[in-house]
């Protein structure tokens, strides 16, 4: 009975979830359908009339640019008028296809064709109607340059292509033809009418549709323009506005068409067995250092001109095998000088550069407190420590000393590693922490700042974690004998879904840091890998922010 109830509950959840997404999808599709109707429904096949017959030649009142040599037209003879016997309303005329003609001569206001097929015994006469057999040719050009809207752009493209394929008036040109042409022409970011005319002429289009996507504070704007060969001008435009509260829009905004992680540096194997990675300007030279720790020293490196340059060794750092080897760096005293926080002999220490050397200081009142992270919360900088009483302590610099501002109670197996960030886009930061599951395995849990559990990841992961600030991606590590890799997760409105994963590493991933190491205003992902008692540093860049 219990199994039946569980299955029924799961079924209800799935139905409700699908219903929510269906409703949001219906809203978007309704707006797209209205736009498509306004853009395309009054596009008609070229129609004209027979104006002269000369032996087997038929002249019609349609000329260039509507008609080209080789075009085919069906000749239609209108017959009896149909009238409703009750209302007496005129319903139309009976139409009979007489023949097909192929155009062999085109002038500005008329064309000449030759009968190539007959459909009845009726003769073609002056005044008979002609309808082009050729579908109007159209291509769709996506002007969106932001990968932020890549998934939404793909949905728009698929929708309009599907809409046009179901009609009887439009023929879509091959998308690769348009892509190749645009790349070859090296067109400007903002197309002018000359660019549009060039594309239409090169691809022999009747219409070119363009669309672009932008955003304002609470909405996504989709701007669609329809250009015509004749006249050479924009003939229609549509502006679609969709609220950012739409769940599918939220999902699309968190997707990237090119989830690329580009390796920009891989160091040589370093003769150093390191367990932690930290980044910060520790000697006030305006250059961030990458800090690796060993059992009895810290080693600094700088990343300059795409090279990793070895720096100073800090010898007044010691830890025992019982200490947490996590390093955190930050300026909590707001004096422009970063401190390195670490645990040694069950005490909390900091290292600070005084202009000549690194001074090692014991932080009073923080016995058996291990540093976990430095975060900004409510315009305050906090040093997060975890003590032996299962408290995550949020500490600030106040009255010339470090004090605990507030605490968060966790379980005794939780909090070995901690990161904070708004990873579900609710404008509130979440606490993401590890929960030891035994035999070297960890579960990843997400709490709010009041201590309520929001989510538990179903699979086991290892303890290195990081958050990509711009995209709010949560980076987790899967360390196994077969696959050691970094996996990115994003919130889709209902769940955390995997977005991308790295290739497998040869060694064990010990730590991950997300920061701007090269001052290019873009975040890099720095990875510490250990293999055969040697360390290696990888620096990656995410290519999702090309604007």
- Reported as a single tens digit per residue, the pLDDT across 366-380 is 999 999 999 999 889
The verdict on 454 and 356 lying in the same domain is: yes
- If one compares 426 and 104, the residue with the highest pLDDT of the two is 104
Burial profile 25-47: b = 16 or more Cβ within 10 angstroms, e = fewer: eebbeeebeebbeebbeebeebe
The C-alpha atoms of residue 293 and residue 277 are separated, in whole angstroms, by 7
Distance (Å) of CA 429 to CA 11, 371, 434, 447, 450: 31, 19, 17, 9, 11
The answer on pLDDT for 1 being more than 60 is no
Average pLDDT over the chain reads 85
Distance (Å) of CA 382 to CA 281, 451, 472: 18, 17, 20
Q: Please check whether residue 9 lies inside any domain of the structure.
A: no
The C-alpha atoms of residue 252 and residue 250 are separated, in whole angstroms, by 6
Among residues 132, 149, 178, the one where a domain terminates is 132
With 0-12 / 13-18 / 19 or more C-beta atoms within 10 angstroms meaning exposed / middle / buried, residue 320 is exposed
Q: Which of 179, 193, 184, 170 is nearest to 143 (CA)?
A: 179
Q: Record the pTM.
A: 0.56
> Could you tell me the CATH number of the domain that includes residue 96?
2.40.10.410
Residue 92 has a pLDDT of 83
Tokens found for residue 55: 């032996």
Among residues 253, 269, 290, the one where a domain terminates is 253
Residue 42 has a pLDDT of 72
Tokens found for residue 6: 């569980």
**Which residues, including other chains, have CB under 8 Å from residue 419's CB and lie 6 or more apart?**
373, 432, 433, 465, 466, 467, 474
The answer on pLDDT for 260 being more than 80 is no
Residue 451 has a pLDDT of 93
The answer on pLDDT for 15 being more than 80 is no
pLDDT in tens, 520-540: 888 899 999 999 999 999 999
State the average pLDDT over residues 247-258: 66
State the average pLDDT over residues 44-70: 88
The C-alpha atoms of residue 418 and residue 412 are separated, in whole angstroms, by 14
Distance (Å) of CA 226 to CA 234, 266, 289, 412, 503: 6, 48, 53, 63, 43
The answer on pLDDT for 14 being more than 50 is no
> Could you tell me the CATH number of the domain that includes residue 231?
3.40.50.10610
Distance (Å) of CA 383 to CA 149, 329, 401: 36, 9, 12
The verdict on 113 and 162 lying in the same domain is: no
Most confident residue range from 44-48, 331-335, 384-388: 384-388
The verdict on 473 and 327 lying in the same domain is: yes
Q: Is 218 helix (H, G, I), strand (E, B) or coil?
A: coil
State the average pLDDT over residues 424-432: 89
Among residues 112, 132, 152, the one where a domain terminates is 132
Q: How confident is the model at residue 50 (pLDDT cuts 50, 70, 90)?
A: very high
Residue 8 has a pLDDT of 45
The C-alpha atoms of residue 162 and residue 184 are separated, in whole angstroms, by 27
State the average pLDDT over residues 129-143: 86
pLDDT in tens, 83-128: 888 888 888 888 889 899 999 999 989 999 999 888 888 889 999 9
Tokens found for residue 76: 């239609």
Most confident residue range from 17-26, 37-46, 133-142: 133-142
Q: Please check whether residue 405 lies inside any domain of the structure.
A: yes
The verdict on 371 and 399 lying in the same domain is: yes
Residue 462 has a pLDDT of 86
pLDDT in tens, 229-246: 877 777 889 999 998 888
Tokens found for residue 369: 């407190």
The structural domain count of the chain equals 3
The verdict on 128 and 143 lying in the same domain is: no
pLDDT in tens, 155-205: 888 888 888 877 667 888 877 788 778 777 666 556 788 888 888 888 888
Strand order in the sheet with 430-438: 414-421, 430-438, 441-447, 453-456
pLDDT in tens, 429-486: 999 999 998 877 899 999 999 999 999 998 889 888 999 876 688 999 987 766 789 9
The answer on pLDDT for 6 being more than 50 is no
The verdict on 127 and 140 lying in the same domain is: no
Q: Please check whether residue 18 lies inside any domain of the structure.
A: no
SS (H, E, C) 92-160: EEEEEEEEEEEEEEECCCCEEEEEEEECCCCCCCCCCEEEECCCEEEEEEECCCCHHHHHHHHHHHHHH
Q: Please check whether residue 357 lies inside any domain of the structure.
A: yes
Range(s) of the domain holding residue 193: 136-253
What's the chain's length in residues? 547
**Which residues, including other chains, have CB under 8 Å from residue 393's CB and lie 6 or more apart?**
369, 384, 385, 386, 387, 404, 407
Q: Please check whether residue 394 lies inside any domain of the structure.
A: yes
Cβ contact 148:253 at 8 Å: yes
């Amino acid at each position: 009975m219990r199994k039946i109830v569980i299955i029924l509950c799961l079924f209800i959840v799935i139905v409700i979830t699908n219903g929510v997404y269906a409703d949001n999808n219906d809203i978007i599709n309704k707006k797209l359908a209205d736009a498509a109707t306004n853009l395309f429904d009054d596009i008609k096949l070229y129609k004209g009339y027979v104006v002269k017959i000369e032996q087997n030649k038929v002249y019609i009142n349609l000329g260039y640019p509507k008609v080209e040599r080789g075009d085919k037209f069906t000749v239609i003879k209108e017959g009896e008028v149909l009238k409703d016997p009750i209302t007496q309303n005129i319903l139309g005329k009976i139409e009979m296809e007489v023949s097909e003609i192929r155009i062999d001569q085109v002038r500005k206001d008329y064309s000449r064709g030759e009968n190539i097929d007959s459909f009845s015994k009726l003769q073609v006469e002056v005044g008979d109607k002609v309808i082009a057999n050729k579908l109007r040719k159209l291509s769709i050009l996506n002007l969106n340059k932001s990968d932020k809207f890549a998934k939404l752009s793909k949905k728009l493209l698929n929708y309009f292509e599907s809409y046009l394929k179901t009609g009887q008036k439009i023929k879509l040109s091959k998308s690769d033809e348009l892509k190749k042409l645009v790349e070859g022409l090296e067109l400007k970011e903002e197309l002018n009418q000359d660019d549009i005319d060039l594309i239409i002429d090169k691809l022999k289009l009747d219409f070119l549709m363009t669309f672009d996507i932008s955003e304002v504070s609470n909405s996504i704007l989709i701007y669609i323009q329809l250009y015509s060969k004749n006249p050479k001008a924009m003939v229609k435009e549509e502006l679609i506005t969709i609220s950012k509260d739409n769940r599918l829009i939220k999902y699309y905004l968190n997707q990237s068409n090119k989830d690329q992680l580009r390796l920009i540096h891989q160091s040589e194997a370093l003769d150093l067995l390191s367990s932690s990675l930290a980044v910060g300007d520790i000697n006030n030279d305006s250059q961030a250092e990458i800090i690796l720790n060993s059992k009895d020293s810290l080693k600094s490196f700088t990343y300059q001109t795409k090279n990793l340059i070895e720096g100073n060794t800090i010898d007044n750092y010691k830890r025992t095998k019982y200490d947490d080897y996590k390093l955190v760096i930050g300026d909590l005293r707001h004096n422009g000088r970063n401190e390195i926080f670490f645990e040694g002999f069950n005490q909390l220490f900091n290292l600070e550069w005084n202009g000549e050397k690194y001074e090692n200081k014991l932080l009073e009142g923080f016995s058996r407190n291990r540093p976990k992270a430095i975060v900004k919360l409510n315009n305050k900088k906090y040093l997060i420590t975890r003590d032996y009483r299962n408290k995550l302590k949020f500490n600030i610099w106040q009255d010339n000393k470090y004090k605990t501002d507030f605490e968060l109670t966790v379980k005794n197996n939780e909090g070995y590693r901690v990161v904070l960030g708004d990873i579900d886009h609710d404008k509130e930061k979440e606490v993401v922490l590890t929960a030891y599951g035994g035999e070297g395995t960890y579960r990843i849990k997400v709490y709010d700042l009041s201590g309520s559990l929001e989510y538990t990841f179903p699979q086991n992961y290892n303890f290195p974690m990081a958050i990509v600030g711009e995209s709010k991606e949560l980076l987790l590590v899967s360390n196994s004998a077969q696959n050691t890799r970094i996996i990115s997760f994003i919130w889709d409105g209902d769940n955390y879904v995997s977005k991308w994963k790295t290739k497998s590493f040869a060694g064990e991933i010990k730590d991950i840091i997300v920061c701007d190491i090269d001052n290019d205003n873009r975040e890099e992902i720095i990875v510490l890998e250990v293999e055969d008692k040697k360390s290696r540093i990888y620096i990656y860049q995410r290519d999702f922010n090309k604007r």
